[in-house]
Amino acid sequence: MAGDRGLDALLSGDRQAWDAFVRRYAGLIVAAVRSVAMVAGDIEDFTQEVFVRLCKDDFRLLRSYDPTRAAISTWLTIVARSTARDGLRRRRAESLPLEAVPEAQLAVDPVEPVRKLKLPEALLSPRQREILTMLYDREMDVAEVAAALGIDPQTVRSAHHKAMLKLRAHFKAEIE
């Protein structure tokens, strides 16, 4: 394209400018897509998707090109590779339904029961014990704990923080 004049004509909807743009940059875009996607059908699909993205929504993506940051060929290469990578990710996610994955592949190793810690009774206040139980044993979030206890969420966070400080100090002393 002959400088910004060609790009300006393209963005204003000039069909000849678009045709010239496609002729000039199609090879570059195909090469960029080919560097990511190896299957011929994918290359064709992703190349077409690049051109669709460029002209979609009144050339919104193409209008975002900033000539002070990169040459148009560099920018188009990045757009083409990103489009191809996104397309491959979508296809991978769509291609294998969960039911088709072998159960052995999804299996998780059994977890040994965790030994309950015996803490000195006076280490934590009853409220701190209750908050830790709700947060960790019952897997409640701060808002749920606050609602259940009828207190402010910041009070829950504060009590949790103070309890964790006490626990760290206790176990650090025990290790040393």
Is residue 54 within 8 A of residue 61, CB to CB? The reply is yes
Looking at residue 47, its pLDDT comes to 93
* Between residues 41 and 117, the one the model is more confident about: 41
Looking at residue 115, its pLDDT comes to 65
Domains of the chain (ranges, CATH numbers) = 3-96 (1.10.1740.10), 126-175 (1.10.10.10)
How would you class 136 by CB atoms within 10 Å of its CB: exposed for 0-12, middle for 13-18, buried for 19 or more?
A: exposed
**Stretch 110-116: mean pLDDT:** 64
User: If pLDDT is split at 50, 70 and 90, which confidence band does 125 have?
Assistant: very high
Percent of the chain scoring above 70 in pLDDT = 83
Is residue 37 within 8 A of residue 88, CB to CB? The reply is yes
Between the CA of residue 35 and those of 26, 44, 46, 82, what are the distances in Å? Answer: 14, 13, 12, 11
Cα–Cα nearest to 159, from 144, 142, 172, 137: 142
Cα–Cα nearest to 29, from 7, 47, 41, 56: 47
Average per-residue pLDDT for the chain: 85
pLDDT in tens, 73-109: 999 999 999 999 998 888 776 666 666 667 766 666 6
Between the CA of residue 47 and those of 24, 27, 140, what are the distances in Å? Answer: 14, 10, 48
Instruction: Provide CB contacts within 8 A for 65, sequence distance 6+.
Output: 7, 72, 75
Q: Is the pLDDT of residue 127 over 90?
A: yes
pTM over cut 0.85: no
Between the CA of residue 24 and those of 2, 29, 124, what are the distances in Å? Answer: 11, 10, 72
Q: Is the pLDDT of residue 171 over 90?
A: no
- Which tokens is 15 given? 């069909």
